[in-house]
Amino acid sequence: MDVDEARKLLLDLFVVVPERDITEADREEARNWPVEDQVDYLAKARANELEEGLVAVTLNGLIPAIRAMASSGTVIEGFGISEKDGELTLTVGPAGEFTVSVTAPEGEINQEVAVIRSNRDPMFSSGLAAGRVFTLRGRNCGSGRMESHRTADFLAFCESMRPLLAVPHEPRPDIFIRNRFDLDGSEAAAALTQADGGLPGENWKSILTAQRAAHHKLMMPIWAAGIARVYEGLMDLGYRWGEKYLAYNDTDIRTFAIPFGGGTALFYENIDIADEFTGLVAVVRTDGEGRPATFEIHPMDREKDSPSAFAESLVSGTCNAVPAAEIDLRTGSIGRTDLLNPHRAIERVSSVVGTERYIIADLKNGKKFDGGIEESTCFDDLEPWQRNGNDGAVGMSP
């Protein structure tokens, strides 16, 4: 199978086409979800499945090379290897930028488990990916998992590991990947990896980028419409910039509407997230006739970015921040979008829409909450933390 065939097959498998992928039975049985929620769920599930296949096919090539390096005593500059209690640990870089730990679980025949960590940002979770390869009925199989916002890091890990492929080892030329990959999908994943030289590289990056572009083009108009509905609900309840904001989920999540000339915006932050970007501002800009024109997603770095400064820049018309994701709602064309985004802001938008519309409906219907929800007028509480001694720089990160 050549690269073009592999690319087409993988995109056919992992890009959601609502008319093809949602049946009438699905519409009736999906807990009365609106169709946009079903599409959103499918899009995220397919993205996760493709990334799981990426991990599986990577470990399929790496684990034999790691074991061969350990047994042969091969030395590669920048690589280190150690073994303790049956666990091999490979490190890359003088500061151990990446590590891979490989074990063969006791009692599990022909199974090897690997955990990949990144130490590039020690302030946050080092977990990058995990997976296993095993033999079942004579077939080489693999599975894996990875968080979507770590895709760029994972591809950087693959590049760092590339010198390891020079170690003589018994290759695993084929792999059957669990989840939506059928036999043809596994063959396509293997072909794409082979074309990249044995570890995922530019061809895999291309397929991941194309899939995300297709999903963003499909989902961002749906998210924009949802943000508009949530914005209207927050405005009706008085949760707007400069007046008061809503805190829910034991007050870990804070949100408010930002009205400005030429559009609407919604601020959202979850302070309980162990991530550099704990919040976002979603902006819908309108054209000269007041119709939705563009939709933007701006991630917020909790240590650097000031929601107050960003809100003021919108209101004053001086906002020049570069969004992490942008779409022209009139043409459907994707604008300045980091498709392999190193944060969760883009995928979090759908959760914002899904959760807040129900909370707003409950508040409007007079539902009584036993704690966990409150309102505040102290917008200073949203300003950047001083954890690293920064001076509270304003603006939004590009």
Q: What percent of the chain has pLDDT over 70?
A: 91
Say if residue 388's pLDDT is above 60: no
Judge residue 355's burial from the number of C-beta atoms within 10 Å of its C-beta, 0-12 exposed, 13-18 middle, 19 or more buried. middle
**pLDDT, tens digit, 9 for 90 and up, residues 10-62:** 999 999 998 888 877 777 766 667 778 888 888 888 888 999 999 999 999 99
Q: What is the pLDDT of residue 125?
A: 64
Q: What is the pTM of this model?
A: 0.85
Consecutive H or E run containing 115: strand 111-118
Rounded to 5 degrees, φ, ψ at 256 are -165, 160
Query: Percentage of the chain surpassing pLDDT 90?
Result: 41
For residue 359, pLDDT over 90 is answered with no
pLDDT score at 389? 39
d(C-alpha 278, C-alpha 254), whole Å:
11
Specify the long-range contacts of residues 125-131, CB closer than 8 Å, at least 24 apart: 125/274, 128/98, 128/153, 128/154, 128/157, 129/55, 129/154, 130/55, 131/52, 131/55, 131/56, 131/58, 131/59
Quote the pLDDT of residue 122. Answer: 61
Q: Residue 162: pLDDT band by 50, 70, 90 thresholds?
A: very high
Q: Is the pLDDT of residue 387 over 60?
A: no
**Choice between 148 and 257, residue whose per-residue pLDDT is larger:** 257
**Rounded to whole angstroms, how far apart are CA atoms 397 and 54?**
29
Asked if 281 and 300 touch (Cβ cutoff 8 Å), the reply is yes
Sequence-distant (6+) residues with CB within 8 A of 374 are: 247, 251
**Span between the terminal Cα atoms of the chain, in Å:** 40
Name the phi and psi angles at 167, rounded to 5: -70, 125
For the cut 70, the answer to whether the pLDDT of residue 385 exceeds it is: no
Residue 40 has which token pair?
Answer: 């959103």
For the chain, the structural domain boundaries read 3-200, 214-382
The chain-wide mean pLDDT, for the chain, equals: 85
- pLDDT digits 0-9 by tens, 122-154: 656 688 899 999 888 778 889 999 876 788 889
Give Cα 378 to chain centroid, integer Å: 31
Average pLDDT over residues 328-356: 80
Rounded Cα distance, 113 and 102, in Å: 6
pLDDT at position 174 is: 82
Q: Regarding predicted confidence, which is higher, 395 or 301? A: 301
Please give the average per-residue pLDDT across 313-317, as a whole number.
89
Asked if 284 and 224 touch (Cβ cutoff 8 Å), the reply is: yes
How far apart CA 300 and CA 277 sit, in angstroms, is 5
Question: Which of 41, 4, 70, 393 has the alpha carbon at shortest distance from 215?
Answer: 41
> Are the C-beta atoms of residues 250 and 229 closer than 8 Å to each other?
no
| pLDDT attached to residue 123 | 59
Token pair belonging to 277:
């970007």
pLDDT at 121: 67
Q: Phi/psi of residue 352, each to 5°?
A: -60, -50
Per-residue pLDDT, 396: 39
The number of angstroms, rounded, from the C-alpha of 284 to the middle of its chain's C-alpha atoms is 22
